[in-house]
């Protein structure tokens, strides 16, 4: 193992990780590019490790984006500006897919980054759960106002 592989993940704020979580196909996901950056590996290395262990990544853990999804979501990390194109569409990893990545990427940095990412997913889920009753009350009020 080289120094880079043993390097500790750079200090990341929860907001920095949250900004890399997208909702695509009604699921919260992180893109291979963002995960590779956090883990300190090249995207092609991350994807190669995943392909070598495909049995660990069923469709509800990971899926490949279509060109339309990339354009429609306007994901800034894709650099699909004028005259530019991607040779390969990125992979999107669900929360469970991110958890599974820890079994195929085993550097200290990848482990540390994975822990931070998993904690961010959990905190986002808790935050959504805490505001769910409020959203329900707002929707009920809206329904009553429409009925009146």
**pLDDT > 60? residue 22:** yes
**Range 4-16 average pLDDT:** 58
Average pLDDT over residues 89-94: 94
- Look at 20 and 84; give whichever has higher pLDDT: 20
When pLDDT is averaged across residues 117-130 and rounded to a whole number, the result is: 87
User: Who wins on pLDDT, 142 or 9?
Assistant: 142
Domain locations in the chain as residue ranges: 3-147
Q: What is the DSSP letter of 43?
A: H
Among the residue ranges 32-41, 80-89, 100-109, 135-144, the one predicted with the least confidence is 80-89
Q: Is the pLDDT of residue 147 over 70?
A: yes
Q: Is 94 exposed, middle or buried (0-12, 13-18, 19+ CB in 10 A)?
A: buried
Give the confidence band of 50 by pLDDT, cuts at 50, 70, 90.
very high
SS3 103: coil
**Is residue 86's pLDDT more than 70?**
no
pLDDT band at 13 (very low <50, low <70, confident <90, very high): low
pLDDT higher than 70, residue 79: no
pLDDT computed for residue 1 by the predictor = 43
Q: Is residue 63 packed enough to be buried (19+ CB in 10 Å), middle (13-18) or exposed (0-12)?
A: buried
Quickly list DSSP for 45-84.
Answer: HHHHHHHHTGGG--TTTEEEPPHHHHHHHT-GGG---TT-
Q: How confident is the model at residue 6 (pLDDT cuts 50, 70, 90)?
A: very low
Which of 1-10, 25-34, 66-75 is the least confident region? 1-10
């Amino acid at each position: 193992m080289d120094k880079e592989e043993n390097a500790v993940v750079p200090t990341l704020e929860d907001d920095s990780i949250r900004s890399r979580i997208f909702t695509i196909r009604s699921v919260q996901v992180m893109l291979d590019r963002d995960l590779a950056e956090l883990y300190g590996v090249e995207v092609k290395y991350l994807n190669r490790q995943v392909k070598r262990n495909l049995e660990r990544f069923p469709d509800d853990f990971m899926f490949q984006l279509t060109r339309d999804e990339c354009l429609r979501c306007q994901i800034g990390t894709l650099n699909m500006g004028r005259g530019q194109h991607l040779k390969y569409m990125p992979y999107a990893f669900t929360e469970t897919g991110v958890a599974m990545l820890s079994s195929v990427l085993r550097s200290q940095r990848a482990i540390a980054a994975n822990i931070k990412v998993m904690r961010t997913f959990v905190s986002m889920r808790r935050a959504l759960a805490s505001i769910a009753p409020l959203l329900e009350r707002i929707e009920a009020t809206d329904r009553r106002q429409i009925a009146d």
